[in-house]
Structures are given as structure tokens and as C-alpha cells.
Amino acid sequence: MKKRVFSGIRPTGRIHLGNYLGAVQNYVAMQDEFECIYCVVDIHALTTLEDTHLLKENVREMITDLLAAGLDPEKCALFVQSHVPEVTELFTLLGMVTPLSWLLRVPTFKEKVKQQPQNVNYGLVGYPVLMTADIVLYKAEVVPVGEDQLPHLELAREIVRRFNDHFGETFPEPKARMTTFPMVVGLDGREKMSKSLNNHIELAATPEETMKKVMGAVTDPARMRRADPGHPEVCNIYKLQQNFNPQVIDEIAEGCRSASRGCVECKKQLGASINEFLAPIRVRRIEIAKDQAYIDRVMKEGAEKARALARVTITEVKQRMGLL
């Protein structure tokens, strides 16, 4: 019997290369190995959004991109978090056994307080409890995470242990599946690739838009002239080359260091390779986007699969807690 996997992704709109390389390609690869439950976590988004008028559109854009990137509704449950209301019920119940001190010590909460001091809401404090509810509502055994996310998963495990200690064995302790989530630096070279910083390349971008973005990217800041030797280890274009041209990466590095290869040439090669890689995804996306009824059906059927599991869990939890 396949182990069950859960992972959620925030609805920030169209998926970009950073999202794809960091998470989505792993989602696709795991479909054949695990029973996969993938969720667009729109309720989580409310903890940091004050303006939600684009939220519904962003959810649909993300579902469209996930399908185009290779998620198969026949192999996984793909749905929207708020379409399974049992998650908010479990969030409330788990909140009754989660010490406030555990939540206040979470580093990301402290960071968010600094970033949005005008909007330190209850949901922001309880974010890890909702994340735990997302996972254990479906009794997922495996959660794909990068090393930076391990503290969040460990807190989820602590909440599970506390619940099980109080009310009896109910939830499996979710285990991390360590994945290579490369931190894709933005095209400006200063921050990670991010839509808010406009230093990203969307999967749905046209070939022309993609090439323009790549040609405008920052490279080795110390290489001022074509004749100057480069330092590929500090060059963002080189880091992307490792993903899109791994078969010639040694040749690219040597050409940079010896100055036999210029940055413009390197960018053109990268842009062409990205466009070649994204071409089938873009074709699928265009076809999927034409059929909005199909997208509705995917979300509806995915939520139905998830709710079938969720109802069983909620009934068990209520029985354990003496509510039924």
C-alpha cells in the first residue's frame, strides 16, 4: 500500500521557475510512488493578505499551471483548501491542545510580525496549527520539505504527539521526505525568485518575454568587460544553467573563467534552453485554460476525494475528544 503524501502551495498566481524547480517538479515525480494529496492553501494566504480581490483568480491560475506542469487528477487529489471545510474544524480542535508558547517561538512568526506590524492577526499566530490540520486531516505520513521547513514540520509532530498523548493514538506523526528544493535566486541576483520583486520567469511567459527577462538578468558583478575572466560560482545565470544545461555545465564554467565565452552568449543559450524546456508545458497550459469547466471539475472532484478522508478523521477526532 502506498504511503500518503500531503503538500500545500500558496496561491500567489501563476507559477514561476522558482516554484517549479523548488517544489512542483517534486510533486509531479511523487505521483507514481505515493498516494498524493496536493492543496492550494487559500486560507493560509489570508494570514498575510489584506487585499483579497485577486485571490480567486490566483487560485485558478495556480491550478491551471499545476495541471500543465504534469499533475494528473487521476493520480492525485488536487483541490483548494477552503473547499474542504473540515480543515478549519480540525484547526479549531487542535488549537485547544496547542500551547501558545509553542506558536510564539516560531521564527517565521517573528519575521512576519516585522514585515506586517499593522496586520498581526490571530491566524498568523495559529498558522502552524492550520498547517498541522492540513497534514493530519488526511493522516498523511510523508511531507516533502526542504531543510528550511523542518522546524515547521517538527512543530506539527509535537502537536500530533500532544494530541495522541491526551486522547489516544489518532494521528501518525508525519515524517519529512527531504527533497532538493534549490533556492532559485531572482534574475536581479539579490533575492530569491519572487513575483513581488518582479525578478521571476513565469511558466506561462511567451518565448519572447522569457528571452527578454534572461537577457536583462544580473551576472557576475566583477566581470565588467567581455575580456574579463568570470567567476561562475557567483553568477546567477550559471546557477540556472546547472538546471537547464547540466550536460555542458563544465564547458560553460571553463568558458566563463577563461573569458572565451561572454555573458551575452551565455544568456542566449540559457534563454533558448528554458524556452525549449517550457514549450510543452505552455502548449498544455493553453489547452487547459480554454476549458474552464475542466478546471472546475478537477477542483470539485479533488475536494470530494479529500472530503471523503476528512469526514472520517473529524468523526474520529470528535469521538476521541468526547464531542460525539
The DSSP line for 139-162 is T--EEEE-GGGHHHHHHHHHHHHH
One domain for residues 81 and 229:
no
One domain for residues 243 and 177:
no
One domain for residues 212 and 106:
no
Q: How many domains does the chain have?
A: 2
pLDDT for the residue 317: 98
The CATH number for 218's domain is 1.10.240.10
pLDDT for the residue 226: 82
Answer yes or no: is 18 a known binding residue.
yes
Residues found in the chain: 324
Residues known to be catalytic = 112, 192, 195
The CATH number for 111's domain is 3.40.50.620
Determine the residue type at 244: F
pLDDT in tens, 242-281: 889 999 999 999 999 998 988 999 999 999 999 999 999 9
CB within 8 Å of 303: residues ≥ 6 apart? 79, 80, 83, 84
Whether 192 is covered by a domain: the verdict is no
Whether 189 is covered by a domain: the verdict is no
One domain for residues 128 and 88:
yes
pLDDT for the residue 284: 97
Q: Give 94-129 as a DSSP string.
A: HHTTS-HHHHHT-HHHHHHHHH-TT---HHHHTHHH
Answer yes or no: is 99 a known binding residue.
no
Whether 199 is covered by a domain: the verdict is no
H or E segment at 55? helix 55-69
Answer yes or no: is 92 a known binding residue.
no
Identify the segments of the chain with pLDDT beneath 70.
Answer: 179-183, 190-191
Q: Which pTM was predicted?
A: 0.92
pLDDT for the residue 181: 57
Torsion of CA 20, 26, 29, 35, to 10 degrees: -120
Domain that holds residue 234: 207-286
pLDDT for the residue 182: 61
pLDDT in tens, 87-137: 999 999 999 999 999 999 888 888 888 888 888 889 889 999 999 999 999
